[in-house]
Amino acid sequence: MLFVENRELVVPGRLLAEGDYFAGEGTFLEGGKIFSAVIGLAEIREKSISVISLQGRYIPRRGDRVIGIVTDTHPFGWILDLNSPYTGNLMVSELVGRKVDVFREDIGKFLRIGDAVLAEVREVDERWRVQLTASERGMGRIRGGRLVEISPAKVPRVIGRKGSMLKVLEETSGCRLEVGLNGRILIRGRDLKKVNAVVEAILLIEREAHLSGLTDRIKAKLEREG
């Protein structure tokens, strides 16, 4: 039995369903009943129920694309802040894509504290140590562009269903976007005005992430301003 409607706003502890349902993300099971664990929107997909969180921290998962900021170094690499309870570790070989003899080569030339890095989560172990990799083409140290930070809970909206929103943002502005799932987004473009329009559009998406018809509105806005 269901106790909520699809897309209904629920608070933690709200009873969602009982019986033959699968407890998805943002929910928990207690005595055979499914409750919401977070504030968010109930999402019912056939026999599965989840809650799309409207808030919350980024938690690293394998395969995630993130933008980290170097906060510390160690003899074999760097520690990156991921806008998360957990920091990421980037070994020098995972940055340059080859073995590096750290006793012969000064790794300080690759990255410095404060640098932003586009990386992928390679592994999260049981102790929540996060290993990153950034050797793929287009990854690694970020040079130039504008970096904005939004709530990680709103990132899926910036990407849109099957990348639809991201496509609109890029195509109508002519800018290139790198979206970190940890809420950091990099915008690259020659026209400063267009870059700023994209930043504004992203902040609008963050504010109104759960409005429907948002993609069309963003498109119209960018076309108007561009």
Partner 1 sequence: MAEAKPEKLLVDGRRLDGRRPDELRPLRIKAGILKRADGSAYIELGKNKILAAVYGPKEMHPRHLQQADVAVLRCRYNMAPFSVEERKRPGPDRRSMEISKVIREALEPVLFLHLYPRAVIDVFIEILQADAGTRTAGITAASVALADAGVPMRDLVAGISVGKVDGTVVLDLMKEEDQWGEADMPVAVMPRRKCITLLQMDGNFTPQEFRQALDLAFKGVEQIYEAQKEALKEKYLPSLEEGR
- Candidates 72, 193, 210, 216; binder of partner 1 (CB under 8 A) is 210
Q: In whole angstroms, how close is the CB of 144 to partner 1 at the nearest point?
A: 28
Complex with partner 1: residue 57 or 221, whichever CB lies closer: 57
| Rounded (10°) CA dihedral 35, 39, 40, 44 | 0
Q: In whole angstroms, how close is the CB of 123 to partner 1 at the nearest point?
A: 16
Question: What residues have CB less than 8 Å from 196, skipping those under 6 apart?
Answer: none
| Rounded (10°) CA dihedral 77, 82, 87, 92 | -10
Q: In whole angstroms, how close is the CB of 164 to partner 1 at the nearest point?
A: 16
Complex with partner 1: residue 136 or 216, whichever CB lies closer: 216
Complex with partner 1: residue 119 or 214, whichever CB lies closer: 214
**Is residue 86 a contact residue for partner 1 (CB under 8 A)?**
yes
Residues 150-189 that bind partner 1 (CB under 8 A): 153
Residues 21-50 that bind partner 1 (CB under 8 A): 26, 28, 30, 35, 37-39, 41
Binding residues for partner 1, rule: CB under 8 A, are 7, 9, 11-13, 15, 26, 28, 30, 35, 37-39, 41, 53-57, 59, 85-87, 127-128, 153, 207-214
